[in-house]
């Protein structure tokens, strides 16, 4: 497996690169970086070991239904809050439109003001 995008120089943090397939090592070519190269096999072994440390524990797997239920309830609450906020905005807009129509019918709203209120 290629580690081209994940291997970094230890001192400078820049991308380490292999030189050739004949010499499978990753080196940091940044001037002044004091990191030494690492063999492809060693880097891949370290990567697999690091990846294995990220395995979920039995305790976490057992808690997944509770975590999922909690997240679902939070999402439902947010969706409800968003729905109420949008409904409030819609009601306000409908009331504003109703008042504009009534004002136009009575003659309190000019055609120009009516046109501007429709554009908003």
Query: What's the mean pLDDT when you consider all of the chain?
Result: 80
Judgement on whether residues 70 and 82 belong to the same structural domain of the protein: yes
Same domain? For 71 and 105 the reply is yes
Asked if residue 19 lies in contact with residue 39, where contact means CB atoms within 8 angstroms, the answer is: no
Q: How confident is the model at residue 115, as a pLDDT? A: 66
Whether residues 73 and 115 share a domain: the answer is: yes
Same domain, 74 and 47: no
Beta strands (DSSP E) in 1-120 are 17-18, 25-27, 38-39
Confidence band, pLDDT 50/70/90 cuts, at residue 5: low
Instruction: Select from 31, 55, 79 the last residue of a domain.
Output: 55
How many domains would you assign to the chain? 2
Residue 85 belongs to what domain range? 58-119
The answer to whether residue 102 scores a pLDDT higher than 50 is yes
The domain boundary residue, chosen from 55, 70, 97: 55
Whether 63 and 49 share a structural domain? no
Say yes or no: 39 and 80 in one domain.
no
- pTM (two decimals): 0.45
Please say if the pLDDT value at position 1 is more than 50. Answer: no
Is 89 in the same domain as 110? yes
Q: Residue 38: beta bridge partners? A: 26
């Amino acid at each position: 497996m290629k580690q081209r995008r994940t291997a970094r120089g230890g001192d400078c943090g820049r991308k380490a690169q292999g030189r050739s397939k004949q010499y499978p090592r990753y080196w940091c070519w940044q001037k002044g970086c004091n990191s030494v190269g690492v063999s492809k096999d060693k880097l891949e072994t370290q990567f697999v070991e690091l990846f294995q440390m990220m395995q979920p524990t039995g305790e976490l797997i057992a808690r997944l239904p509770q975590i999922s239920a909690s997240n679902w309830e939070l999402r439902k609450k947010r969706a409800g809050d968003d729905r109420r906020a949008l409904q409030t905005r819609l009601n306000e807009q409908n009331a504003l439109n109703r008042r504009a129509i009534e004002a136009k019918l009575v003659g309190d709203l000019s055609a120009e003001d009516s046109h501007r209120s429709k554009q908003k």
